[in-house]
C-alpha cells in the first residue's frame, strides 16, 4: 500500500479510521490507529454526554470534552489525529474552532456541505480540511465555493457510499441502486477533482468510505482511483474501541439480515443493527420527548419518536433496551475482539494476498 499525502501530511498506511459517535471513537481508538500509521479520528458528536462538567451547559461541556479528548490522544501518540464534525450539529462552529485551536491534524466534515469551513482557519492554522461527500456534484460545489470565497481547496475528499454505518447521505431508494454505489461514485469524483488539480496545480486525494472491510476491498476500490480508504466498522471490535464490551458484542453476534436501514429522527436514513428498541419504534411505541440538547439542526423534536443522541449514548454504554448500534453493511463479519495492531496486520495481509 502506498502512503497517502493530505495537504503536506504523510499518512504511512492510507487508512483513515471513521469517526463514530456517540463515544465509539474517542482518544483510545484514535491514538491506537495513529500509532499504526493511519489517521485516528475522534468523533465530536455528543461528547458532552460522556463527561458532564458541573456548572457547564451542554454546548460548553462539548467544547471542554473535545479539548480533553484531543489532548488525551496526543499523550498516547505522535501520529496523525483527526476530528469528525457533522455539519448538521448545532455546535458545528464551536467544534471546528476548538479543533483548529488545538491544532488537530485534520478535520473531516460531512452530514451536510461544510461550505464555510475554511473561514475558521487563522493565518497560523495547521489543520487540514477534508469534506465528506456522497456525489461528484457535492465535491464540485465544495471545491468551487471554497476556491471562490476563501482561495482554498480541500486537502482531500472522503467519498462515503451507501454501505456505510450510521447516517447516510442518500435517499432511501438510492441505497440499493447500483448507480449510487461507491464503485460508481469514486471514478466520478476522481474525474471531477482532476479538473481542479490540473487548473490549480494541486493534489486532492480521493478517499473511499462505506462498506470497506477487508484488504481485498481496499485493493478493489484503489483500482478505481481512490488514494486511500476510511474504515469504521472494522475497528469497532477491537480492544481499544472506546465503546462498551456489550456494544462490540452486538457486532459479533449479528447476522447479515440483522443489519438494515432505519429512519433516523434527524431526517436521514441510517444503517444499524436491528433490535427490540428499533422494533418498538417501528410499532409506534416510542413517543416524542422534550429535547434537552438541541444538538442536531435537522432533528424535528416535535415529532421525533426518541432522542437520537440519547439512544446512541445508551448503546455506547451497553444499554440496548434504550438504544441501538449503528454499523456498516459488513459488521456481521466480525468474529472476535482483537487489538488495533493485530487488525492492521490482518488488513495488510489481506491486501497483500488479494489480486
The position carrying cell 418498538 is: 280
Cell of 36: 499504526
Residue 95 has pLDDT above 90, yes or no: yes
Q: Which residues contact 58 (CB under 8 A, 6 or more apart)?
A: 48, 292, 293, 295
Residue 355 has pLDDT above 70, yes or no: yes
Q: E strand or H helix at 71, and its extent? A: helix 58-76
The Cβ of residue 52 has, within 10 Å, a number of other Cβ atoms equal to 11
Q: What's the average model confidence in pLDDT over 80-84?
A: 98
pLDDT in the model for residue 310: 86
pLDDT in the model for residue 88: 82
SS3 state at 120: helix
217-251 pLDDT, tens digit per residue, is: 999 999 999 999 999 999 999 999 999 999 999 99
Contact 133, 140 (CB under 8 A): no
| CA dist 313 → 105, 183, 343 (Å) | 26, 33, 25
Residue 287 has pLDDT above 80, yes or no: no
pLDDT in the model for residue 291: 66
pLDDT level of residue 304 (50, 70, 90 thresholds): confident
User: Within 13 A of 7's CA, how many CA atoms are on the CB side?
Assistant: 16
Q: Where in the chain is the domain with CATH 3.20.20.70?
A: 4-243+334-353
Question: Cα(155)–Cα(9) distance, rounded to whole angstroms?
Answer: 10
Residue 311 has pLDDT above 80, yes or no: yes
The position carrying cell 464490551 is: 245
Residue 174 has pLDDT above 80, yes or no: yes
Calculate the average pLDDT of the chain: 94
pLDDT in the model for residue 292: 62
Q: What's the average model confidence in pLDDT over 60-77?
A: 96
- Return the closest-CA partner of residue 24 out of 191, 334, 221, 236: 236
Question: Cα(182)–Cα(161) distance, rounded to whole angstroms?
Answer: 5
Q: What's the average model confidence in pLDDT over 125-129?
A: 98
pLDDT level of residue 306 (50, 70, 90 thresholds): confident
User: Within 13 A of 328's CA, how many CA atoms are on the CB side?
Assistant: 25
pTM for the predicted model, two decimal places: 0.96
Cell of 105: 491534524
pLDDT level of residue 78 (50, 70, 90 thresholds): very high
Question: Cα(227)–Cα(208) distance, rounded to whole angstroms?
Answer: 8
CATH classification code of 4-243+334-353: 3.20.20.70
Q: Is the peptide bond before 22 cis (omega within 30 degrees of 0)?
A: yes
pLDDT level of residue 348 (50, 70, 90 thresholds): very high
pLDDT in the model for residue 149: 98
7-56 pLDDT, tens digit per residue, is: 999 999 999 999 999 999 999 999 999 999 999 999 999 898 888 776 77
Q: Which residues contact 327 (CB under 8 A, 6 or more apart)?
A: 165, 233, 236, 250, 251, 254, 259, 271, 272, 273
Residue 290 has pLDDT above 80, yes or no: no
Which of the two residues, 252 and 283, has the higher pLDDT score? 252
**DSSP symbols for 303-331:** T-SS-HHHHHHHHHHT-TTS---B--TTG
Contact 313, 325 (CB under 8 A): no
Amino acid at each position: 500500500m502506498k502512503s497517502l499525502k493530505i495537504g503536506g501530511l504523510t499518512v504511512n498506511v492510507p487508512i483513515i479510521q471513521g469517526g463514530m459517535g456517540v463515544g465509539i471513537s474517542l482518544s483510545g481508538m484514535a491514538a491506537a490507529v495513529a500509532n499504526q500509521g493511519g489517521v485516528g479520528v475522534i468523533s465530536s458528536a455528543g461528547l458532552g454526554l460522556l463527561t458532564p462538567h458541573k456548572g457547564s451547559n451542554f454546548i460548553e461541556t462539548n467544547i471542554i470534552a473535545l479539548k480533553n479528548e484531543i489532548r488525551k490522544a496526543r499523550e498516547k501518540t505522535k501520529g496523525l489525529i483527526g476530528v469528525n464534525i457533522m455539519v448538521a450539529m448545532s455546535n458545528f462552529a464551536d467544534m471546528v474552532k476548538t479543533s483548529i485551536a488545538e491544532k488537530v491534524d485534520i478535520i473531516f466534515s460531512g452530514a451536510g456541505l461544510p461550505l464555510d469551513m475554511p473561514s475558521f482557519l487563522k493565518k497560523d492554522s495547521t489543520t487540514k480540511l477534508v469534506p465528506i461527500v456522497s456525489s461528484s456534484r457535492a465535491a464540485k460545489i465544495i471545491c468551487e465555493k471554497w476556491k471562490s470565497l476563501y482561495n482554498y481547496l480541500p486537502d482531500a475528499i472522503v467519498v462515503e457510499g451507501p454501505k456505510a454505518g450510521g447516517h447516510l447521505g442518500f435517499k432511501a431508494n438510492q441505497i440499493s441502486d447500483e448507480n449510487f454505489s461507491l464503485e460508481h461514485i469514486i471514478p466520478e469524483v476522481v474525474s471531477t477533482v482532476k479538473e481542479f488539480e490540473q487548473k490549480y496545480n494541486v493534489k486532492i486525494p480521493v478517499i473511499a468510505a462505506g462498506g470497506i472491510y477487508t484488504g481485498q476491498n481496499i485493493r478493489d476500490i484503489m483500482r478505481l482511483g481512490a488514494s486511500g480508504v476510511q474504515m469504521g466498522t472494522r475497528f469497532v471490535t477491537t480492544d481499544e474501541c472506546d465503546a462498551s464490551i456489550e456494544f462490540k458484542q452486538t457486532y459479533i453476534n449479528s447476522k447479515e439480515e440483522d443489519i438494515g436501514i432505519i429512519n433516523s429522527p434527524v431526517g436521514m436514513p441510517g444503517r444499524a443493527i436491528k433490535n427490540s428498541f428499533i422494533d418498538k419504534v417501528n410499532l409506534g411505541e416510542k413517543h416524542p420527548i422534550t429535547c434537552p440538547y438541541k444538538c442536531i439542526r435537522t432533528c424535528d423534536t416535535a415529532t421525533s419518536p426518541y432522542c437520537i443522541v440519547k439512544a446512541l449514548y445508551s448503546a455506547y454504554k451497553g444499554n440496548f433496551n434504550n438504544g441501538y448500534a449503528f454499523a456498516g453493511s459488513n459488521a456481521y463479519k466480525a468474529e472476535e475482539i482483537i487489538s488495533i495492531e493485530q487488525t492492521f496486520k490482518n488488513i495488510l495481509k489481506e491486501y497483500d494476498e488479494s489480486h
